[in-house]
Amino acid sequence: MSAMSDYLELKFLDHFTGRASTSAPSAVYLGLSTGSLGDDNGGTELSGNNYTRKAVTFAAASSGSIASNAAVEFNAATGSWGSISHFGVYDAASSGNLLFHGAFSAAKTIGSGDVLKVASGSLTITAA
């Protein structure tokens, strides 16, 4: 399950009603969380222990959804990241705006030395 952030919903409305022209970001980045991020970017993205967002790419949208088309591999953790259960797709490598958010199908606990890898095609964003 995935959802658009409040930020993206407003940009979409402004763009398609002619109020403002909005261009797509040059790249989008996958962020991780141990809990839901929420439409208003509530919740807490990971930080520290060698965590950084990673660029993610997608195939063309089809049948109301879009899926990643390349694996995304995060840095090896230098401490516990906890149980990673949720993700966010952002318009910048740091700071920036949350565009989409959702939950992984299963949580994965990441400890020191572990590497989290999201397989190609396993990250899907669905339009509702």
The closest alpha carbon to 4, from 48, 37, 31, 53, belongs to: 37
Q: Where are the alpha helices (DSSP H) in the chain?
A: 6-16
Distance CA 35, CA 102 (A): 10
Domain count, the chain: 1
Entry pTM: 0.91
pLDDT in tens, 3-50: 889 888 888 888 888 888 888 899 999 999 999 999 998 889 999 999
Domain that holds residue 101: 2-126
